[in-house]
Amino acid sequence: MGERFVKLMQGNEACVDAAIAAGMKFYAGYPITPSTEIAELSAEKLPRIGGRFIQMEDEIAGISAIIGASIAGTKSMTATSGPGFSLKQEGIGYAVITETPCVIVNVQRGGPSTGLPTAPAQGDIMQARWGTHGDHSIIALYPWSVREIYDATIRAFNLSEKYRTPVILLMDEVIGHMRERIELPTDEELTIINRKKPSCPPEEYKPYKVNEGDIVPEMAGFGEGYRFHVTGLTHGESGFPSSNGEVAENLIRRLVGKIEDNKDDIVEVHEYLLDDADMAVIAFGSTARSAKSAVDILRTEGYKIGMFRPITIWPLAEKQLEELSIKLKKVIVVEMNVGQYYLEVDRVAGKNTKVEKFGKVNGELITPEEIVSYIKEGNHA
């Protein structure tokens, strides 16, 4: 049994410690509030464990460098906020089509553009899903506490390695800067997943061939004796460019399918007091903390209300939302935007139940009292 380690920790700090526990050995980024502590702590900690940090000349260079490092066999991460997340989209698409594991943290602030530095917001929910061009699927996680940031960061690395895909770790200014006393997991309690290396000799290696029973192709690293080609162009098993329609169709469907067909493994949700509920608040990140308090207040007043909190934002928790919609009279999607996740909830749950939205975009947190007031009076604060 490893020793228990209790610490007062900031959200952004928990992210870095967890990334290192997950095996991160490379970080490249560009300073932007409210994510900067992630870069600062990576700069301090990585060389101490034989890892490397670099502050790049811009956000695009940051994500490009981590993709390069990952293809060279090193677990890598970058972190940013709204304006930088817009710039990262080029690299995210490249990591999707080249199936390069990497983690992109977006500590959300108010937008669009430079927007509201650096007040909290949840306006990048749809950008996380559709920010890069072209058909694709994506994994995005959104924790709500410092301890959960630790777990979600490790999970983000694990999912990126398992599914060979970029994983977006969404946070917001509140949970990124919040400090909580957390008990860290022991090494024995951690599960760390590493990409599967080629099982064949170099002359037989096809970098994009999925072996029977596997979800993704085996991944060699540069300098490991397997000379292979990586391109952002559509490619077949050999990895070389192809403009053949069938090759393109197969590739895109495989890339989307490897995520959408494995939702049971990827999707994680938190349900609170839903067993006897006839109404639910749906919320994530810092807003879910207020939502939970609102549920507690309303419960004391006799409301049969619960909370549904997706920890995996993408792919969508479609099955869970559908099940929820059948037994509830109403769901209220509470988010710090004008209604983004709401669109998906309404699409899935709207045919069975009433779906409402409650949001704010003034850079202030949504309080429990505001949620309570909305639910009691339909009061759009």
Partner 1 sequence: MPSNLVNEYFRTENLPHIWCPGCGNGIVTRAIVKAVDNLGLNREDTCVVSGIGCSSRASGYLDFNTIHTTHGRALAFATGIKLAKPDLNVIVITGDGDSSAIGGNHLIHAARRNIDITTIVFNNNTYGMTGGQYSPTTPTGDKGTTAPYGNIDMAFDLCKLAEAAGATYVSRGTIYTTNMLIKLVENGIKNKGFSFVEAMTICPTYYGRKNKKGEAVDMMTYLKDYAINVAAYDKLTDEQREGKFIIGELYKSERPEYTEEYQKIINSFAEEV
Considering only residues 21, 23, 40, 73, which one is a binding residue for partner 1 as defined by CB under 8 A?
73
Alpha carbon distance 74, 94 (integer Å):
17
Of the listed pieces 58-66, 122-130, 259-267, 291-299, which binds partner 1 according to CB under 8 A? 58-66
Strand order in the sheet with 269-272: 269-272, 305-310, 279-282, 330-335, 354-359
Q: Rule CB under 8 A: is residue 54 a binding residue for partner 1?
A: yes
**Cα–Cα–Cα angle for 203, 207, 213, rounded to 5 degrees:** 105
Interface positions, 306-345, toward partner 1 (CB under 8 A): none
Which of 72, 192, 200, 338 forms a contact with partner 1 (CB under 8 A)?
Answer: 72
CB atoms within 10 A of CB 191: 9
Residue of the chain from 19, 28, 156, 366 that contacts partner 1 (CB under 8 A) = 28
The binder of partner 1 chosen from 21, 33, 56, 215 (CB under 8 A): 56
Q: Is 74 a residue that touches partner 1 (CB under 8 A)?
A: yes
Number of shown-chain residues binding partner 1 (CB under 8 A)? 42
Q: State the Cα–Cα distance between residues 318 and 313, nearest whole angstrom.
A: 10
Task: Check residue 91 for interaction with partner 1 (CB under 8 A).
Answer: yes
Distances (CA, A) of 364 to 82, 113, 163, 268, 324: 17, 18, 36, 27, 29
**Smaller CB separation from partner 1, 50 or 213:** 50
Q: Which amino acid, residue 2?
A: G
The yes or no reply on residue 94 touching partner 1 (CB under 8 A) is yes
d(CA 207, CA 230): 8
Cβ 90 to partner 1 shortest distance, Å: 6
Q: Considering beta carbons, is residue 85 or 284 the nearer one to partner 1?
A: 85
Contacts of residue 31, Cβ cutoff 8 Å, sequence gap at least 6: 39, 55
Closest to 34 (Cα-Cα) out of 183, 176, 136 = 176
The one among 179, 181, 229, 319 contacting partner 1 by CB under 8 A: 229
Beta bridge pairs of residue 79: 105
φ and ψ at 180, to 5 degrees? -140, 155
Rounded CA separation 230/214 (Å): 20
By beta-carbon proximity to partner 1, the closer residue of 112 and 225 is 225
Residues 164-183 that bind partner 1 (CB under 8 A): none
Candidates 179, 227, 253, 329: give the one binding partner 1 (CB under 8 A).
227
Identify the CA nearest to 216 among candidates 130, 151, 131, 137.
Answer: 137
Planar angle of CA 87, 89, 91, nearest 5 degrees: 100
The structure tokens listed for 141 are 């996680």
Which residue among 8, 200, 233, 326 contacts partner 1 (CB under 8 A)?
A: 233
- Give the whole-angstrom CA distance, residue 69 versus residue 264: 30
Rank residues 61 and 282 by Cβ distance to partner 1 and give the closer one: 61
Minimum distance from residue 26 beta carbon to partner 1 (Å): 6
Q: By CB neighbour count within 10 A (0-12 exposed, 13-18 middle, 19+ buried), where does 183 fall?
A: exposed
Tell me: does residue 60 bind partner 1 (CB under 8 A): yes
Smallest separation (angstroms) from partner 1 to the CB of 112: 23
Backbone angles phi, psi at 194, to 5 degrees: -115, 145
Q: Measured between alpha carbons, how far is 188 from 41 in angstroms, rounded to an integer?
A: 24
Q: Which of residues 207-226 bind partner 1 (CB under 8 A)?
A: 221-223, 225
- Shortest distance (Å) from residue 66 CB to partner 1: 6
User: Counting contacts by CB under 8 A, is residue 117 touching partner 1?
Assistant: no
Q: Which of 21, 87, 215, 230 binds partner 1 (CB under 8 A)?
A: 230
The piece of 24-32, 109-117, 193-201, 280-288 that touches partner 1 (CB under 8 A) is: 24-32
Closest CB to partner 1 among residues 231, 362: 231
Amino acid occupying residue 331: V
Contacts with partner 1 by CB under 8 A lie at 25-26, 28, 47-48, 50, 52, 54, 56-58, 60-62, 64-74, 76, 90-91, 94, 221-223, 225, 227-233, 240-241
